[in-house]
Amino acid sequence: MTRHVLILGGTTEARALASSLTADPALRVTSSLAGRVAEPRLPEGEVRIGGFGGPDALRRWLTEHAVDALIDATHPFAAAISSHAAQAAASAGVPLLAVRRPGWTAGPGDRWHPADSLVQAAAMLPDLGRRIFLTTGRTGLAAFAGTTGAWFLIRSVDAPRPPLPEPSEVLLARGPFTLEGEAELLRRHRVDVLVTKDSGGPATAAKLTAAREAGVPVVVVRRPPVPEGVPVAATPGEAVAWLRAGPVQPRDGISPGHRRVCGAAGRCP
Ligand code: NAP
């Protein structure tokens, strides 16, 4: 019997996972994209685009489309959809796995300043520099709009959402980025602070090496936590192994915040 897997996507890992799973004739694979990016890189297999309309609507989608397993392979900072997935999976009784690429770690020579939020990152800037390279994405930039006495280079895939800090220059670009390119960008714009989320992964890591080599401090915004009780895979390969192991359904009556982790062995403790 075919098992239906829903992948919440929008990441390299989600696309890699969809490619692996569509090769398995025992699986029906649907990927879900938020529809934020104008020209998304489409995964293999079936694709649906757009928000579900909240956790209850996602739960109905899981039930109506007879989803057997849900894999949250969204970006580490997409906290709302991850929370909705945890609630919907628990109430629909569908096994859920989160795929999260490991975060970046500072090495010798790095000058990293951790921040808990974009607002906290903005508050740290006056002590660090005046020519700021913002790579935190197209949303949330209002956090920097009140910063005075600084110039911003804002890089995002699609046009950033106002309000933006001023004065600023917008650079529309999609990774992967090379070390040579990132080093040249820092030099050309005389960047003296880099701001990034701890997205992890190789596609956008070159900016960190370029910053280290140029002695540029980096404000690194920490990740939100994965919803409590949701098992986590670090790679698409681990997610494939979890599916092959046949995850057990969560027991009835367990609240979304305290779901049991049944684990890859397929048994609840
Ligand atoms: P978010 O704040 O967690 O989600 C906001 C709303 O967007 C959700 O409530 C949901 O709408 C909808 N949504 C998000 N991901 C979805 C998906 N895969 N399929 C269907 N609906 C989805 O998410 P976000 O940070 O805006 O990110 C949106 C998408 O961009 C995600 O797929 C994420 O993987 C990708 N992305 C995000 C970042 C980032 O830095 N946040 C970076 C790269 C890629 P409803 O409540 O209506 O269901």
Residue 41: Cβ within 10 Å count: 13
| 10 three-class SS | coil
CATH number of 3-102+225-258: 3.40.50.720
- In short, whether 86's Cβ falls inside 6 Å of ligand 1 is no
Instruction: Please give the pLDDT value at position 251.
Output: 39
Residue type for 27, please? L
Binding site membership of 8 for ligand 1 (Cβ less than 6 Å)? yes
Give the count of alpha carbons within 13 A of 246, CB side only: 3
State in Å: Cα 222 to ligand 1 middle: 18
What SS3 class is residue 29? strand
Which residues on neighbouring strands pair with residue 156, listed in sequence order? 172
247 CA to centre of own chain: 24
CA of 148 to the centre of ligand 1 (A): 30
Whether ligand 1 lies within 6 angstroms of the CB of 47 is answered as no
How confident is the chain (269 residues) per 10-residue block, as mean pLDDT? 95 97 96 92 96 98 98 97 98 98 97 98 98 97 97 97 97 97 98 98 96 98 98 98 78 34 33
Give Cα 236 distance to the centre of its chain. 14
12/5 Cα distance (integer angstroms): 17
Report which protein residue has its CA nearest ligand 1's atom 24.
78
Nearest atom within ligand 1 for CA of residue 11: 34
* Spatial distance between the Cα atoms of 101 and 234, rounded to a whole number of angstroms: 5
Range(s) for CATH 3.40.50.720 in the chain?
3-102+225-258, 112-221
- Integer Cα distance of 233 and 33 in angstroms: 20
Residue 90 identity? A
Q: Write down the pTM of the prediction.
A: 0.90
Using a 6 Å cutoff on CB, does residue 51 contact ligand 1? yes
Q: Give the Å distance between the CA of 139 and the centre of ligand 1.
A: 11
Our answer on whether the CB atom of 54 is closer than 6 Å to any ligand 1 atom is yes
Kindly state if the Cβ of 52 falls inside 6 Å of ligand 1: yes
Cα four-point dihedral sign 210, 211, 213, 214: positive
pLDDT given for residue 248 in this prediction = 54
Which of 70, 81, 82 is the best mutation target for the ligand 1 pocket, counting ligand atoms within 8 Å of the beta carbon and taking the most?
A: 81
Beta strands across the sheet bearing 168-172 = 112-115, 218-221, 193-197, 131-135, 151-156, 168-172
Query: What pLDDT does residue 104 have?
Result: 98
Q: How far is the CA of 8 from the centre of ligand 1 (A)?
A: 9
Contacts of 24 (CB under 8 A, 6+ apart): none
Question: Of ligand 1's atoms, which has the minimum distance to the CA of residue 8?
Answer: 18
Predicted confidence at residue 247, as pLDDT, reads: 76
Tokens linked to 76: 């580490």
- CA of 97 relative to ligand 1 center, distance in Å: 17
Q: Is residue 33 in contact with ligand 1, taking CB distance under 6 Å?
A: yes
Determine the Cα–Cα distance for residues 116 and 164; give it in Å rounded to an integer.
Answer: 20
**Is residue 19 classed exposed, middle or buried when 0-12, 13-18 and 19+ CB atoms within 10 A define those classes?**
middle
Q: What's the 150 CA to ligand 1 centre distance in angstroms?
A: 30
CATH topology of domain 112-221: Rossmann fold (3.40.50)
Amino acid at 210: A
